[in-house]
Amino acid sequence: MKKILFLFTIALNFFSAITYSQQIVEQGSIEELRKLVIEELILSDSLEEKPLKDIQGSILIAVSDDLKLSVEIFQKLESSNFKNLPPEIIESFTLQAIALDLSVYRKCVLVFPFILRVSKIEVFEKRMEEVITEILPEQRFENVSCVEYQAPYIGKLVP
Amino acid sequence: MRATYPVIFICTLFFSHLAFGQADSSLLANKNIRSQLIRELIFHHPPTGETKKYQGYNLLVFVDGDLEVQVSILESNFSSVPRSINQEYVNSFKKNLSEEDLIIFKHCLLVIPVLHVVDSSFEQESNVAEGINSMVPKVRFKNFGCVKFMKPILVRRTIRI
């Protein structure tokens, strides 16, 4: 472990693009997974509740070594920061997701930021600071072999 | 010894909404680091390319075991190779930080999403979605002992012609 840390330090010290990019590499990408996250998790949950305000947050998906999934949704609520999704929504998502080949995400934590806008664009732009801090919440990952943020989903809901 | 009591009392009042001593110091360190990041690094490094209303990038700050700091900028719109920052800026960033500010981030890679907003006297096309998108680091962070994604920073500039 010490040796690995030492190597990191060296790589970052020299800061040459090549050694650095060994630690920061291109993302894996599965369009179908993204589609599932949007349709099954982001939209299905919020459409039921018919939001009156803009909703922003992140979906966190951890893929285990044996490609099992765990899902959490980070959305700022008055009571807590983590919202519990109904188990049937998670189950339906997981069933469809494990049918995909997720091996590029083995041992990865995936973060899908999302915004569902209800308000007018002018109103939305005024609260930009709040929006960005809520779609990308503070997170500390320790000893994870892979963390990957995905392109945010930005949708408009018709009230 | 007696003199320290009022100080402790004031601190307790100030932080009474927080439950843990640990959280206090990291909160202060965070605040200090954020203001230094804005003043010494972000301010001097606008996003490259044509000026748009909303444009984002990520600051990558690595604090090593000796509390040495390296900083680079990851512009997700261009490539996944970070653009390095002149050490002079990094030195002035470090100058105003204490050891305590950095010690909680030892061996950590800090990722700070930054959104630049340009207010111009010209009418600009609003590219909100594109701007928010460019603020998300679209790379894979592999095998880091610690990666901390910090609260995004929004900076505004005004351009008058």
Q: A 41-80 residues with CB below 8 A of B? A: none
Torsion of CA B41, B142, A114, A155, to 10 degrees: 100
Q: Provide the CA A8 distance to its chain's centre, in angstroms.
A: 26
Q: B 115-134 residues with CB below 8 A of A? A: 115, 117, 126, 128-129, 132-133
Tally C-beta pairs within 8 A across A and B: 131
CB atoms inside a 10 Å sphere around CB A136: 29
B141, B151, B155, B156: best mutation site toward chain A, by most A Cβ within 10 Å?
B141
Tell me the range of B73-82, B100-109, B119-128 where mean pLDDT is highest. B100-109
Angle at A121 between CA B159 and CA B115, to 5 degrees: 45
Residue B151 predicted with pLDDT over 70: yes
Residue B89 predicted with pLDDT over 50: yes
Residue A103 main-chain phi, psi, to 5 deg: -65, -25
Nearest to B64 among A12, A141, A152 (CB): A12
Q: Do B149 and A152 touch (CB under 8 A)?
A: no
- A155 secondary structure, DSSP code: E
pLDDT at residue number A25: 77
Question: Quick check: B135 contacting A, CB < 8 Å?
Answer: yes
Please tell me the distance in Å from B11's CA to the nearest CA on chain A.
24
pLDDT at residue number B160: 75
Nearest to B149 among A9, A21, A139 (CB): A139
Chain B residue numbers with beta carbons less than 8 Å from the beta carbon of A144 are: 144, 147
Mean pLDDT by runs of 10 across the 159 residues of chain A is 40 39 70 92 72 86 93 76 79 92 92 92 90 88 88 85
pLDDT at residue number B159: 79
**Residue whose C-alpha is closest to residue A131's, from A53, A38, A41:** A53
pLDDT at residue number A9: 41
Q: B 30-49 residues with CB below 8 A of A? A: none
In the block, tokens 């000796």 appear at B66
Return the higher-pLDDT residue of A54 and B15: A54
Q: Which residue of A has its CA nearest to B128?
A: A125
Chain A residue numbers with beta carbons less than 8 Å from the beta carbon of B69 are: none
pLDDT at residue number A1: 40
Residue B112 main-chain phi, psi, to 5 deg: -120, 105
Residues in chain B: 161
pLDDT at residue number A153: 94
Residue B30 predicted with pLDDT over 90: no
Question: Quick check: A108 contacting B, CB < 8 Å?
Answer: yes
Q: Do A133 and B152 touch (CB under 8 A)?
A: yes
Return the higher-pLDDT residue of B123 and B2: B123
Q: What's the mean per-residue pLDDT of chain B?
A: 79
Instruction: Supply the pTM of this predicted model.
Output: 0.79
As for the ipTM of the complex, it is 0.78
Contact B42/B89 with Cβ under 8 angstroms? no
Q: Do A140 and B147 touch (CB under 8 A)?
A: yes
Q: Which residue of B has its CA nearest to A153?
A: B133
